[in-house]
Amino acid sequence: MAIDHEVETTGLVGWIDRRFPMTSTWKKHVSEYYAPKNFNFWYFFGSLALLVLVNQIVTGIFLTMNYKPDSTLAFASVEYIMREVPWGWLIRYMHSTGASMFFVVVYLHMFRGLMYGSYRKPRELVWVFGCAIFLCLMAEAFFGYLLPWGQMSFWGAQVIVNLFSAIPFIGPDLSLWIRGDYVVSDVTLNRFFAFHVIAIPLVLIGLVVAHLVALHEVGSNNPDGIEIKAKKGPDGIPLDGIPFHPYYSVHDFMGVSVFLIIFAAIIFFAPEMGGYFLEANNFIPANPLQTPQEIAPVWYFTAFYAMLRATTDPFKIVLMIIVALLGLYSLVRARGKWKLGLPVLAVLVVLAMAFTESKFWGVVVMGGAVISLFFLPWLDRSPVKSIRYRPFFHKVFYGIFVLAFLTLGFLGTKPPSPASTLIAQICALIYFAFFLGMPVWTRLGTFKQPPERVRFKPH
């Protein structure tokens, strides 16, 4: 018997329910949404991401009340918010710290999905929506980074937009269209402000809603990777499920409390976080005639920036050899009508790499590192979802992947050197090998048999 979300209420609630599905929506998505009873602390980060999103929207609204999107006034307006507006410094630091903490919880949320196979069937669309949210967050952070109009904001935007000029044929016109001028100027600031405050947040909110609706349609995954909807009682309720409210709403309150303590500690004692959250150069007004000694993005972009910087001419040759070998492998192993498709594509890519500059392929590598995440549900061929039941060497591969990503993030914050470039190139190859090799290595090894019911010990 299916769960019935229809309700009959009286009074004001009844009047609203007859015109708007308030109570039934609450029941369907909160009080009668049955989640697995074996959630652990890794499941805090989804609700924390929603909390930080609300923080960013609310603090952003208050900041726009005093911010001036004008190249002659932007920096001074930020200083005015910090020094003159009552509690303006707190709102600004909540927003700047919130940006970094947003990426912290999103990275951890994605890592949990990677560990427990939350991208596997039937949650492919949930994962795709989540990756789209991540891409949207990167765009939102990039557009917002220019708004303080400090030295690092100005020159960081200049460098990133100039990357688009490396695209063959359309690159120069595309970078000109993005800037709205031949250099980063007042026009650029105005359009970035519009994207940051209106366009991207609307898309982001829509994707978050789609992500949650898709999740509640198929149900939440759990550390055991077992579908709780497969075993229901006579009343249609999953035997291993408990209502999200009040159980997980109270459970998440503990995670929120710990998070807010850390969040407040950063805001009040280390809002710059040693230059990782707010760089020293961004407290200097933008000067188009003086380039900072080192231009580096904020920490949450540095892993991808390190891949971009590591794509030199010798590394491009290595990539050409790898693409050629993959094409040869696909020619040997492929069957059916696609037998020549991948090898021909590999030949075309190698030829394109031979006649284009490495700067363009750095952009491709950086973008491909993000786009690869979208294909994860179809790359993983493991017979089990959760890392708990996979062979030990799978866990080693996951560990190497995480270590490579963290190393790239660290190298992206440091000035380039021959040694750091070589390490970044090795880590970039490990990053892509993890995904490209998934159809092969995820099938190998001896897998443990997952239990029929979720494993749960009350505490």
Examine the fold and report which residue of 258, 283, 308 is the final residue of a domain before the chain moves on: 283
Together in a domain, 240 and 335: no
419 & 361 share domain? yes
Looking at the domain assignment, is residue 28 inside a domain? no
- Does residue 268 carry a pLDDT above 90? yes
pLDDT at 3: 53
My answer on whether 266 and 213 are in the same domain is yes
- Categorize the per-residue pLDDT at 348 as very low, low, confident or very high, splitting at 50, 70 and 90: confident
272 assigned to some structural domain = yes
Residue 79: the pLDDT is: 96
Nearest-angstrom CA–CA distance, 281 and 293 = 10
Q: What is the pLDDT of residue 43?
A: 93
Same-domain status, 258 and 303: no
pLDDT in tens, 421-436: 999 999 999 999 999 9
- 335 and 275 inside one domain: no
Mean pLDDT of 336-346: 69
Is 21 part of any domain? no
In a domain, 173, yes or no: yes
pLDDT bracket for residue 1 (50, 70, 90) = very low
Alpha carbons 346 and 330: distance in angstroms, whole number? 9
- The pairs formed by 246-253 with CB atoms below 8 angstroms and a separation of 24 or more are 247/35, 247/37, 248/35, 248/39, 248/43, 249/30, 251/39, 252/44, 252/47
Least confident of 162-171, 330-339, 345-354: 330-339
- The type of residue at 36 is P
Q: Is residue 291 in a domain?
A: no
What is the per-residue pLDDT for 379?
Answer: 94
Domain tally, the chain = 2
Please give the pLDDT value at position 5.
Answer: 54
Tell me the average pLDDT of the chain. Answer: 90
Which pTM does this prediction carry? Answer: 0.93
pLDDT band at 272 (very low <50, low <70, confident <90, very high): very high
What is residue 335's predicted lDDT score, i.e. its pLDDT? 63
Are 314 and 363 within one domain? yes
Query: What CATH number corresponds to the domain at position 368?
Result: 1.20.810.10
Domain around 393: 299-441
Give a yes or no: residue 229 inside a domain.
yes
Is residue 254 located within the same domain as residue 116?
yes
- Chain Cα centroid distance, residue 262: 21
Token pair recorded at residue 87? 């509690």
Q: Which residue has the higher pLDDT, 31 or 260?
A: 260
Instruction: Give the pLDDT of residue 323.
Output: 86
| For range 384-403, the mean pLDDT | 95
Q: Which residue, of 232, 257, 283, is where some domain finishes?
A: 283
Q: Does residue 132 sit within a domain? A: yes
Q: Tell me, what's the pLDDT at 149?
A: 94
Q: Which of 238, 257, 283 is the last residue of a domain?
A: 283
312 in the same domain as 268: no
The answer on 70 and 206 residing in a single domain is yes
Residue 139 lies in a domain: yes
Q: If pLDDT is split at 50, 70 and 90, which confidence band does 205 have?
A: very high
Q: What is the pLDDT of residue 345?
A: 79
Q: HEC states along the chain? A: CCCCCCCCCCHHHHHHHCCCCHHHHHHHHHHCCEEECCCCHHHHHHHHHHHHHHHHHHHHHHHHCCCCCCCCCHHHHHHHHHHCCCCHHHHHHHHHHHHHHHHHHHHHHHHHHHHHCCCCCCCHHHHHHHHHHHHHHHHHHHHHHHCCCEHHHHHHHHHHHHHHHHCCCCHHHHHHHHHCCCCCCHHHHHHHHHHHHHHHHHHHHHHHHHHHHHHHHHCCCCCCCCCHHHCECCCCCECCEEEHHHHHHHHHHHHHHHHHHHHHHHHHHCCCHHHCCCCHHHHCECCCCCCCCCCCCCHHHHHHHHHHHHCCHHHHHHHHHHHHHHHHHHHHHCCHHHCCHHHHHHHHHHHHHHCCCHHHHHHHHHHHHHHHHHHHHHHCCCCCCCHHHCCHHHHHHHHHHHHHHHHHHHHCCCCCCHHHHHHHHHHHHHHHHHHHCHHHHCCCCCCCCCCCCCCCCCC
Nearest C-alpha neighbor of 18 from the set 28, 26, 27, 8 = 8
Q: How far is C-alpha 382 from the geometric centre of its chain's CA atoms? A: 24
Q: Above 70 in pLDDT, residue 80?
A: yes
- Determine if the peptide bond prior to 246 is cis (ω within 30°): yes
For residues 265 and 332, state if they share a domain.
no
Specify whether 129 is located in the same domain as 266.
yes
Both 362 and 243 in a single domain?
no
